[in-house]
Amino acid sequence: MSKTCIVIAGPTAVGKTDVAINVAHLYKTEIISADSRQCYAEMKIGVARPSEDQLQSVPHHFIASHSIQDRLNAVSFEKYALDKINDLFLTNDVVVVTGGTGLYIRALCDGLDPIPEVPIEIRNAIIDGYESGGLPWLTAMLQEQDPLFAKQGEMQNPQRMMRALEVVKTSGKSIVSFQSMEKVERPFRIIKIALELPRLQLVERIDERVNAMMDAGLLEEVRDLIPHRSLNALQTVGYSELFDFFDGMLTMEKAVDQIKIHTRQYAKRQMTWFKKETDYHWFNPKDPNLLANISALISKD
């Protein structure tokens, strides 16, 4: 068998982890996470990190591997993942990559243009602007300076928005332009699997997951992170809403409802991203023939 990277993608809560573990068991291999939040050691419950049993059943990489103090992006993930894949291919013919961060997966599979280093004074000025003006300020700045991102980017995600503003201020070009280069040819096969559930089933799973997170202690996890709340890693669903609760801006009930709504919106954006990619093989994660179908794709040369 030629060296093969199996990508298992899809929206949050669709069941990627279980499928990835089953595929890893089948090929006696390891898993690289392509999740832009599960890599942070300080964030566990709110990012739906795999359970201890799951992590022990198959070796995982890029899980709790960095600190929230670290600045990570798609380029740094690309380097991390390629280095790890090369190491794993020394002893394995197959490596599994799974996650829902579409840009990270694209960086690994296709490569990205290197984005210029952002001067610290530009980064700090944008952080100050966001802290004083919030999402409306970011929205207005991007509509003025990077209308391309404002039209098609994640305009409810402050971290992504600040990153886009950093890039356009530094380079004079939209961050979108750095994501549209010609594909890099990797020295291994890539088979891309995407998982999809009927919308109402996915909504139900998302709501159940959020309830389970709260029962597991998400409120306490977020409370402990309040001193670090300005870090980019924490500008994300499940944390922002509970910071607002601690600030007295939302009731607990409203904060939990907002987490569910924002998670559903994020899942919709993920589906839009992956549906635009034309090389995914789509499956229902509950399909009893799923492993056999994936195996058949891998067996083709």
What local confidence, expressed as pLDDT, does residue 179 receive? 67
- Joined together, the tokens standing for residue 24 give 């890893």
Tokens 């690994």 correspond to 108
Q: pTM here?
A: 0.84
For the chain, helix, strand, coil in percent to 5 are 55, 10, 35
Measured over the CA atoms of residue 257, residue 155, residue 64 and residue 94, the dihedral's sign is: positive
- Number of Cβ atoms within 10 Å of the Cβ of 294: 22
Determine contact, residues 66/228, Cβ cutoff 8 Å.
no
Q: Which two tokens stand for residue 118?
A: 């952002």
Phi, psi of 83 (to 5 degrees): -60, -45
Q: What is the pLDDT of residues 180-196, one digit of tens each?
A: 556 788 999 999 999 99
pLDDT in tens, 22-79: 999 999 999 999 999 999 999 999 999 999 999 999 999 999 999 999 989 888 999 9
Residues 104, 34 contacting (CB under 8 angstroms): yes
Copy the structure tokens of residue 201: 């089933």
Torsion of CA 84, 87, 88, 92, to 10 degrees: 160
pLDDT in tens, 64-85: 999 999 989 888 999 999 999 9
pLDDT for residue 35: 97
Q: Which two tokens stand for residue 63?
A: 């899980």
Residue type at 23 in one-letter notation: V
